[in-house]
Amino acid sequence: MEMRIREALRDAGCPIEQETLFTMFDETEQEEAMTSVGKMLAGGKLLLTRKRKLALPEQSGLRYGRIQGNARGFGFFIPQEGGSDLYIPAADLRGAMHGDKVWVRETPRIGRNGAPEAEVVLIAERALTRLVGTYERGEDEFGYVIPDDARIAEDVLLFRPTEKKLRHGDKVVVRITQHGDGRRPMMGEIEEIIGGRNEAGTDILSIIKRLDLPVDFSKAALRYAKQLNKPLSPEAAASREDLRSMQIITVDGADAKDLDDAVSLTKNGENRLLGVHIADVSHYVKTGTALDTEAYKRGTSVYFPDRVLPMFPPDISNGVCSLTEGTEKLTLSCFMEIDESGSILSHRFAESVIKTAHRMTYDDVNAIFDGDTALCKRYEDVVPMLCEMRELMEILHAKRVKRGAIDFELPEAKITLDEKGKAVDVMAAERGSAERMIEEFMLAANETVAKHADDLGLSFAYRIHEKPDETKLEDLNAFLHTLGYGLKNTGRVRPIVFQRMLEKAKGTPEESVVSRVVLRSMKKARYAADCVGHFGLAAEHYCHFTSPIRRYPDLVAHRMLKEIMHGKMTKKRADRYDADLPDMMQHCSDRELAAMEAERAADDLKKAEYMLSRIGAVEEGIISGVTQFGLFVEFPNTVEGMVRIASIPGDGFVIDQKNYRLSGKNGGRTYRLGDSVKVRVTGVDMANARVELELIPEKQEKPGKTGKSERKSAKPSSVGKKSAPYPKRKKEKPAGRKERRTNRAGKVAKRKGK
């Protein structure tokens, strides 16, 4: 139908009325045509002109995409069809904000860094109807909300805020009642007071509200979950494969409560039989129920330093489905017979009932591997199995490496909070043999399930990672050649090429920079209905199967696998999945991105909070980012800070983004991604969760390294002060927040007769 609509509009040669378009179809087709037009408008495939006529984008010379905002007022246009971004000056945004879906027209002007410019013609869809920010009391009857998201450059003007409990500096949710358009200000009304700026938990809750993450479960979902949280009945266990006498353990973090995976290992002749036993959430949570609706809306659990937003209520996630020690639980088991080379010779799936022997932690298992006598005695019944597991882990890992799997070994942060929720320590989390062991076993199960589905020719809840974009690979290759690492053929690159490159760079001064630029050339993994493989894992088949308590795609995989096992995957059911899965997997990918953004924002905020106690301290780190406004430096504990270009001593610097470096204009010092540097912490901008740094020059500079004169270091930024992340442009100087507030307040007051 979409194709016929496009053909009809092309044949018309100009925009036409919707009613005129629908008359071109039979009466039996008009309802379908109306539905298709709605989808095409929402997806940017059609546009409505100012006269409410339908038109194809190419007929108007417009392009469709979204806006990426910036605190300085300008933005970038990200085309939906792909390709290079376009720079949009503040005046040409015409009220469009970060995240908005827009139609733009490319202009002949050239903008920042040589990027072509564009102007917004129509705003197709607003991303925000409400936002989170800090309330500031204004003059007379006016107030303001400064958005927490720095990419939204405009404050929200409030007229006569009436909430009695509202205090200057409170974090609030404001509903937008009028979007700005360059002539009129953005206005809104207070919808919710989150809490005082310095109250415990307000900072994380503000992030949750800003990204619109669901917090509370519906009463129906909570009631349903409570009814399900009961001891296992004999009837439920009777129809299952009984594994209660098998030696099965869980291995998780010490503070984990949602235990959804357990493992076992036995000998089968010369081979090993690995069992991965996953909580059978699908037995309890049926499609279309209140619990299922809530889980789908969330898509994933979200983990913050001070709390968890679970995908299911605690009665499910920490109760009936959690594989607690010594308790009978329903599971979906994947048994894999593995030979000495790590090849999976055969597999089978079973609906099972288990009773875990031990709830073990990563720390305890790692200590056992290190020979801890007390722990070896405590867990003596499973120590032999653990040793066998470690051997199998090494075999599986070696096989993955042999086929080309890429392992970047990126450190994760471990943030310690005090009783008031304040960050008191940040360190890189250690990853030992126990963590690697469970990871290898889960990877094996995920691949096995995905291969089983793909061998049957089915759409499935696959996890895919596509090959890197060829343009990015060409840029990457040009840079790598300057370091002595290069790709022979960017058109037919394989994962093992990157793996060997990273191995070659290991232990060299450029190891960090090679690893980082290779990672940045990669696409993001996502969920999809079609099996195209996982590039990073060098796997032809992959899905997520092992965490149905925490990820919705895993729950979908369980449901589909059980239909396959029971012979219920008929052609009608397969066709239904073919129709539903693409949108479902896109939704799950979107929710995953939202969760990752929230977790990253919370971690950054707590890292910045911790660095408040480090102001004035000298730290060593490596350059993790090079931008037009400065350098990012990462410390060993994963905290990252920024050195503004204006504060770097020397005779001025030019950015070479393709080669990830900042160079002195007159042959001075060059700073490159991956370089080790020494810096001083000069301040912390809590509003933007940013740590401000200044470089400490080397004690002995070679002649010509700093030029004829040195700039004075920038003054330390005030703690908590909100500063712009870009230096002011010479040609375009947007009004400051205070100036904009004054002007807008005056205009609104004038319109209201004051």
Find the range with the poorest average confidence among 40-49, 280-289, 467-476, 544-553.
40-49
Q: Which amino acid, one-letter code, is at 612? A: L
Alpha-carbon distance 248 to 259, whole Å? 13
Check pLDDT > 80 for residue 419.
Answer: yes
Alpha-carbon distance 112 to 86, whole Å? 9
Check pLDDT > 50 for residue 754.
Answer: no
Please state whether 331 falls in left (phi above 0), alpha (psi between -120 and 50) or beta: beta
Asked if residue 135 lies in contact with residue 721, where contact means CB atoms within 8 angstroms, the answer is no
Distances (CA, A) of 621 to 226, 315, 615, 632, 698: 50, 44, 16, 10, 14
And the tokens for 628? 């037009």
Q: List strand residue ranges (DSSP E) for 468-570, in order.
A: 526-528
Alpha-carbon distance 451 to 531, whole Å? 9
Write down the pLDDT at residue 437. Answer: 97
Other C-beta atoms within 10 Å of 465: how many? 21
Return the ∠ at Cα 230 (arms to 225 and 234), rounded to 5°: 135
- For residue 570, with 0-12 CB atoms within 10 Å meaning exposed, 13-18 middle and 19 or more buried, which class applies? exposed
Write down the pLDDT at residue 667. Answer: 67
* Average pLDDT of the residues in 288-299: 96
Distances (CA, A) of 656 to 370, 471, 509, 664, 729: 47, 17, 20, 11, 19
pLDDT in tens, 104-136: 988 888 866 667 899 998 888 888 899 999 999
Alpha-carbon distance 374 to 279, whole Å? 31
* Average pLDDT of the residues in 568-597: 95
Write down the pLDDT at residue 714. Answer: 35
Alpha-carbon distance 314 to 320, whole Å? 9
Greater pLDDT, 722 or 295: 295
Alpha-carbon distance 503 to 507, whole Å? 9
Return the ∠ at Cα 439 (arms to 465 and 276), rounded to 5°: 105
* Average pLDDT of the residues in 355-361: 97
pLDDT in tens, 27-50: 888 888 888 888 888 766 787 777
Residue 195 in 3-state DSSP? strand
User: Beta 618-627 vs 630-634: how paired, if at all?
Assistant: antiparallel
Check pLDDT > 80 for residue 716.
Answer: no
**Residues in the chain, total:** 754
Closest listed residue to residue 312, CA positions, set 279, 345, 263: 279
* Average pLDDT of the residues in 573-601: 95
Distances (CA, A) of 382 to 254, 265, 304, 425, 616: 19, 10, 33, 35, 50
Write down the pLDDT at residue 113. Answer: 60
CA 538 to chain centre: 22
User: pLDDT grade, residue 695 (50/70/90)?
Assistant: very high
Check pLDDT > 50 for residue 719.
Answer: no
User: Beta 171-178 vs 130-137: how paired, if at all?
Assistant: antiparallel
Closest listed residue to residue 512, CA positions, set 634, 690, 401: 634
Alpha-carbon distance 415 to 424, whole Å? 8
pLDDT in tens, 629-649: 889 999 999 999 999 988 888
Asked if residue 323 lies in contact with residue 260, where contact means CB atoms within 8 angstroms, the answer is yes
* Average pLDDT of the residues in 355-364: 97
pLDDT in tens, 312-330: 999 999 999 999 999 999 9
Other C-beta atoms within 10 Å of 350: how many? 15
Return the ∠ at Cα 228 (arms to 225 and 230), rounded to 5°: 130
Closest listed residue to residue 2, CA positions, set 28, 21, 27: 21
Alpha-carbon distance 8 to 22, whole Å? 10
Alpha-carbon distance 225 to 101, whole Å? 38
CB under 8 Å to 122, separation ≥6 — which residues? 47, 48, 62, 102, 103
User: pLDDT grade, residue 456 (50/70/90)?
Assistant: very high
Write down the pLDDT at residue 114. Answer: 66
What is the CB-side half-sphere exposure of residue 572 using CA atoms within 13 A?
1
Greater pLDDT, 216 or 55: 216
Write down the pLDDT at residue 702. Answer: 43
Asked if residue 36 lies in contact with residue 5, where contact means CB atoms within 8 angstroms, the answer is yes
Write down the pLDDT at residue 176. Answer: 93
Most confident residue range from 5-14, 105-114, 267-276: 267-276
Alpha-carbon distance 553 to 724, whole Å? 39
Alpha-carbon distance 742 to 138, whole Å? 9
Helix/strand/coil (H/E/C) assignment for every residue in 397-458: HHHHHHHCCCCCCCCCEEEEECCCCCEEEEEECCCCHHHHHHHHHHHHHHHHHHHHHHHCCC
Greater pLDDT, 735 or 240: 240
Find the range with the poorest average confidence among 121-130, 158-167, 223-232, 489-498.
158-167
Write down the pLDDT at residue 198. Answer: 82
Q: Which amino acid, one-letter code, is at 562? A: K
User: Beta 344-355 vs 241-242: how paired, if at all?
Assistant: parallel
pLDDT in tens, 510-563: 787 888 888 888 999 999 999 999 999 999 999 999 999 999 999 999 999 999
Backbone angles phi, psi at 261, to 5 degrees: -135, 140
Alpha-carbon distance 511 to 514, whole Å? 5
What is the CB-side half-sphere exposure of residue 546 using CA atoms within 13 A?
22
pLDDT in tens, 86-97: 999 988 998 899
Asked if residue 356 lies in contact with residue 264, where contact means CB atoms within 8 angstroms, the answer is no
Asked if residue 149 lies in contact with residue 712, where contact means CB atoms within 8 angstroms, the answer is no
Please state whether 667 falls in left (phi above 0), alpha (psi between -120 and 50) or beta: left
- For residue 483, with 0-12 CB atoms within 10 Å meaning exposed, 13-18 middle and 19 or more buried, which class applies? middle
Asked if residue 146 lies in contact with residue 737, where contact means CB atoms within 8 angstroms, the answer is yes
Greater pLDDT, 487 or 409: 487
Check pLDDT > 60 for residue 353.
Answer: yes
- For residue 716, with 0-12 CB atoms within 10 Å meaning exposed, 13-18 middle and 19 or more buried, which class applies? middle
Closest listed residue to residue 554, CA positions, set 301, 237, 354, 356: 301
* Average pLDDT of the residues in 245-251: 97
